[in-house]
Amino acid sequence: MAATSGGLPAVPDPILEPTLTTDAERLRMAMIKLRRQIHRQDTPGLSIELYSALATVVSRGGLSVGELALAEHLPPSAATRLADRLEEAGLVLRRRTEADRRAVLLEATPEGCRRLEERRRTGNAWLARRLGRLSPEQRATVRRALDALEGVLLRDLDPADLPAADWGEPQPVAAHAEEVS
């Protein structure tokens, strides 16, 4: 077992506990296959990375490109490229703030909100039909697994865990959210 770090519990060494590596491989492959299946349900036009960034802008309202980078766990340059692509597609607008005219915030357009809702509706319906094939006990197990995975994989993600080359200088940790290409 690895030593505790920063108040986090010790993490088992995958080399010493081969079942962790096997479980990690199964989870990774299941996620890849699930992503492919969900992607097939999507309306054409936007990548999963763009949809993720759009979802962040819609859910958080006006946010800066830097805040988008932190939320999506991206280097600022990648978040800028995402914001550019979303703006070119007519899904977000850049607006200057009244308080600081140098600051620019991203806001979703009505078309951006509509496209996001359409994607959620079709993707969630497809996945719900598959989950509906499980027994109530299996669905409860899935919910418990989701709680654990979200805690370990999403809530605790810190830009410091990403390769330094991707971030350049250390970035402050603020609000968190999703991903990009």
- The answer to whether the CB of 96 falls within 8 A of the CB of 141 is no
Q: Mean pLDDT, to the nearest integer, of 95-120?
A: 89
Q: How confident is the model at residue 136 (pLDDT cuts 50, 70, 90)?
A: very high
Residue 45: the pLDDT is: 74
User: What pLDDT, in 10s, does the model give residues 28-75?
Assistant: 999 899 888 887 877 677 888 899 999 999 999 889 999 999 999 999
Which of 73-77, 121-125, 156-160, 177-181 is the most confident on average? 73-77
pLDDT of residue 6: 52
Contact by Cβ (8 Å): 62, 95: yes
Which one is predicted more confidently, 56 or 11? 56
Quote the pLDDT of residue 3: 45
Chain centroid to CA 24: 19
pLDDT over threshold 90, residue 135: yes
In the chain, the domains with their CATH numbers are 46-167 (1.10.10.10)
pLDDT range class, residue 171, cuts 50, 70, 90: very low
- Reported confidence tier of residue 24, pLDDT bands at 50, 70, 90: confident
Please, which contacts does 80-86 make with residues 24 or more away whose CB atoms are closer than 8 Å? 81/180, 82/49, 82/50, 82/53, 82/180, 82/181, 83/53, 85/50, 86/50, 86/53, 86/54, 86/57, 86/112
How much is the pTM? 0.65
More confident residue, 62 or 111: 111
